Structure 1
Amino acid sequence: MTLSILLVLALLAAVVVVFAFEWLPVDVTTLLLLAALVLLGILDVEEAFSGFSNDIIIILASIFVLSGALMKGGVMDRLGEAISRAAGGSQTRVLLFVMPISSVISSFMNNTTTTAVLMPAVLGVCRRSKISPGKVLIPLAYASMLGGTCTLIGTSTNVAASGYVQTTGLTPFSMFEFLPVGFAAAVAGILYMVFLGHRFLPQTREGAEHEGEDIREFLSEVVVTSGSPLAGKALRDSNLAQMGLQVRAVLRGERRIYAEPYVQLEEGDVLLVQASREGLLQVKDTAGIEIRPDVKLGYEDLVSETTKIVEALIMPGSALAGRTIKELDFRRRFGLTVIAIYRRGHTLATKISGLPLRAGDVLLVQGRPDRFRFLADNADLFILQEMEHQPARRRKGLWAVGIFLVAVAVS
């Protein structure tokens, strides 16, 4: 065994240890390994950096760009909502919907991205259908891996193999050359998991129920806008329940109407709803209804730049406690808009603008990213969690799908 081989093995062992203990970021570790190979004379500079111009790198980068376009265009979110509506309460039906869709998407997208995008919708289906999440999430991951074997770009392993074959002077693999074997494996894997494999998966129902208890249900106000398809429909005939919105009351002018299933909605009605943060974000992308603060702000204020959604906790001893959002003139004071309130252990059913705040209340607030810098040193509010909301853009989503299909066709 030569000295060069010993050095390479030693470097690989060191890199594995650093990866395992996460002492450094993965990309930094990789670049340090590359630099060490050059400095030790094992590789010259041209050999070390030749891989960056390889077709494999360009293909993988393009896949991430296409995946990002589909996500930013709202395509993946819409698909997740469709799965949630169509799957129903049967575990077998849920698997029959989730696994094939995951396999098809992961044939053209990164497996990890596919699983991450579909996971929130799948968890929502499990929660509503009282299905153990472990019985569905594991098959979801398996399906994304099986789908990745169907095309050249479905997994980086196929791309790397094709690149190596090309360096030997042979013809590289075509886009769908893996399809016959990959499709057969995917179908067999899906059928096995749907009808037999799920029986061997762990039951996580108790953990799911405990997790469900901690999911914050915010109180918010939703307006039935002019021309809304919900106008004239009874509450029981609307899709509000499917969106995860529990209507507590209907405010019509000065009247307060109890939310009976037969109550017909009218344009201009204000609905007091209780929903998770994800359910409220879905309202922002649904035609015919708007979160009430959104109506006051106007469309241009919302889409002129990226909007941040933040959970902010009212701290003990806060000067905000005991006062309402209206009394505080919250938007003028902080440059942010409160769109919902959560109070642990209480079912709230009053207008949020007139609800006196308490220590421990969690406010769901939205605004421009620069406005949240002012909360960093604020003793009255503490940021718990934040997320970036990208409004659904149907036209851009269609463009992303079109470009995606053209890329697949020409390949």
Structure 2
Amino acid sequence: MTMEMGIVFALLVGTILLFVSDRVRMDLVALIVVTLLAASGIVTPAEAVSGFGNSTVIMIAALFIVGEGLYRTGVAAAAGNWLLRVGGASETRLLLYLLPVVALLSAFMSSTGAVALLIPVVLSMARKSGMQPSRLMMPLAFAALIGGMLTLIGTPPNIVVSNALKSEGLEPFGFFEFTPIGLAILLVGMVYLIGFGRRLLPSALVGGNEDEPDLNNLIRRYAIAGQLHKLKVQAQSPLAHKTPVESALRTEHNVTVIAIARGGHLLSAMIPVLSNTRIEVADELWVYGTQEDIKRFCSSHSLISAGHPERDIKRMRQRFGVAEVLLPPDTPLEGKSVREGQFRERYGLSVIGLRRRNEVQQVSYRDTRLAAGDTLLLAGSWEYIRALEGRRGLVLLQTPLELKEIPSHAQRAPLALLILALMLICMTVGWLAALPTILLAAMAMILTGCVSLTEALRSMNVTSLILIAGMLPLAKAMEASGALGYVVSHLVTLLGGASPVLLSAGLFLFTSLLSQFISNTATTVLVAPIALSTAQLLGVNPEPLMMTVAIAASTAFATPIASPVNTLVLAPGNYRFADFAKVGIPLQLLALGVTLLLTPMLFPF
């Protein structure tokens, strides 16, 4: 063993120990690896930082933009809603539908791409169903990796072994020859992940923000729970043909109209400039007010309560919400009444709650005087709530989780779907290579307004990108130093005289182990010739060994750096390094058992 080999092995072991310890952020560990490799001289400085320009990293960054376009236009939420409708709030049923979907998608496109596209969908599902993302993200990644085993184009290792057979004058694998084994592993994997494996997944967020409020939390914080009412306007009501301003609903009756439902559509009545928006007979008014104020208001204005159907509330919350703001010390609103503050005119929103020195205050629009340090709960259209950020005179403290679910470019959803469909068709049919296809799709998302440039830049998961880019040069250093060849030669010596089944098991374990630390493509390129030569030496059919190598290369389940797919779900799932080993190693062993059982039956030795 040379000194360079020793350095690389020490760096690999040290990296793994740092990952397992969870004492240092993984992206920082990756940057340390890049720095030490550049200083070591084993690879050139340019090669040490080459991962940041690697096509895989660029492709993943572009896919983040495509995924953000689907999220911002509401396509991701719609897909999540469909899965929630068919799966309900049951974690088991959700996984039962989600895992085959991502596996099927991965069978015909990059598993990395499939996961990048589905992360917004799964996050949306988790929020709406009240589940932690950690319960869904790792199964999503593992199903995508298994999906790559289903077809020839599902993952690069399948193509590598097929081409290796062809280069030796042998019959290459057909498009669906991987399917029986891949499908069996998918079924076994689903049973494991939905059953025992799910118990190994972390249930609580690790380092996440569990205190981020939703609408209900903010409403309870301001003691206005139960103050949202839906009232129907009767024919004899004095409100008919008048605007809320003309009727002095806030100043005279202490009632705030949030929205008007007319003919099944919600019309905002919170912007004073809409003075021509008149309340009509049979309109349904969504209003905030205390029970006493609402009772008096209904009695004096011929209104009846229309109840609180859950469906209507969900529809309401698609258009309207709340936000918490702070009045800073230099606020021009100091000493003014809520009415004089003209919140509708300034911000398009209405004050429905006030806290002073952490105590809830009753709000009188005419008499309550504002003071610096007050926190207010403003209600209105999500569009105007988004516009609060950066506005003078207020400090935006909190917006509810529901705001993340409201698409900011919903009108461009058909364009986003068209771009996605064209991208998938180009990648499946092979009209363009994957990288330019995805780059074109990302650019189209920006140019068509499906996602703004600012939103696109914010969408990129920097932690994942740095981790992937930082670990790629380590694989190159293993090759350049001869460390990889050293390990391979000892494997050949160890397994050279073994029986075909034992040889297959050894190749599977070695390939799977190697793929935890270097790319599955690089692993297959290195191990496939060994499997081919060993088969020729033993006088056995090389097909079962080559199939074993391809399947094993895709079982990168045990570490978050084993595959870009795992790295992508690391941050959204708030996982630790050890979580992957705990859930992934049993799945690897199950895949080993299925492969050793079926491969000799389908491809006899």
* TM-score, normalised relative to structure 2: 0.41
1:283: which partner in 2?
Answer: 318
**Given the alignment, which residue of 133, 138, 145 partners 2:135?**
138
Matched, 1:122 2:126: yes
Matched, 1:21 2:23: yes
Provide structure 1 residue ranges, at least 5 long, that are not aligned to the other structure: 127-132, 241-247, 263-270, 285-290, 293-308
Between Structure 1 and Structure 2, the one with more strand by share is 1
Q: Which amino acid aligns with 1:215?
A: N
**Given the alignment, which residue of 251, 261, 265 partners 1:224?**
261
**Given the alignment, which residue of 417, 436, 441 partners 1:398?**
417
Structure 1: how far apart are the matches of 2:376 and 2:16?
A: 45
Structure 2: how far apart are the matches of 1:369 and 1:234?
A: 28
Change over 3 Å in CA distance of 1:328–1:410 after alignment to 2: same
Q: Is the 8 A contact 1:102 1:140 kept in 2?
A: no
**Given the alignment, which residue of 257, 270, 275 partners 2:304?**
257
Q: Which amino acid aligns with 1:7?
A: I
2:348: which partner in 1?
Answer: 337
Larger radius of gyration: 2
Equivalences for 1:59-74 in 2 at 5 Å?
A: 59-61=59-61, 63-74=63-74
The CA deviation string for residues 171-221 of structure 1, in whole angstroms up to 9 with x for no partner, is 8999977654443333333345557776888988xxx9xx98973348682
Q: Is the 8 A contact 1:331 1:337 kept in 2?
A: yes
Equivalences for 1:116-195 in 2 at 5 Å?
A: 116-126=120-130, 133=131, 138=135, 141-151=138-148, 158-159=155-156, 161=157, 179-191=179-191
Equivalences for 1:239-388 in 2 at 5 Å?
A: 255-260=302-307, 283-284=318-319, 291=320, 311-313=324-326, 326-330=339-343, 332-333=345-346, 336-338=347-349, 341=352, 359-363=374-378, 367=384, 372-374=389-391, 381=395, 383-385=397-399
Identity %: 21
Provide structure 2 residue ranges, at least 5 long, that are not aligned to the other structure: 205-209, 229-256, 268-280, 431-605
Does the residue aligned with 1:222 lie in a helix, a strand or coil? Answer: strand
Q: Which amino acid aligns with 1:216?
A: L
Structure 1: how far apart are the matches of 2:180 and 2:353?
A: 52
Structure 1: how far apart are the matches of 2:184 and 2:366?
A: 60
The size of the alignment, in residue pairs, is 343
* TM-score, normalised relative to structure 1: 0.56
Structure 1: how far apart are the matches of 2:326 and 2:194?
A: 43
Cα drift, residue 410 of structure 1: 1.2
Q: Is the 8 A contact 2:106 2:144 kept in 1?
A: yes
Change over 3 Å in CA distance of 1:167–1:101 after alignment to 2: closer
Does the residue aligned with 2:42 lie in a helix, a strand or coil? Answer: coil
Q: Is the 8 A contact 1:313 1:362 kept in 2?
A: no
Q: Is the 8 A contact 2:353 2:378 kept in 1?
A: yes
The CA deviation string for residues 277-319 of structure 1, in whole angstroms up to 9 with x for no partner, is xx76x623xxxxxx49xxxxxxxxxxxxxxxx96424689988
Structure 1: how far apart are the matches of 2:58 and 2:125?
A: 31
Higher relative contact order (CA 8 A, sep 6+): 2
Equivalences for 1:198-213 in 2 at 5 Å?
A: none
Change over 3 Å in CA distance of 1:317–1:138 after alignment to 2: same
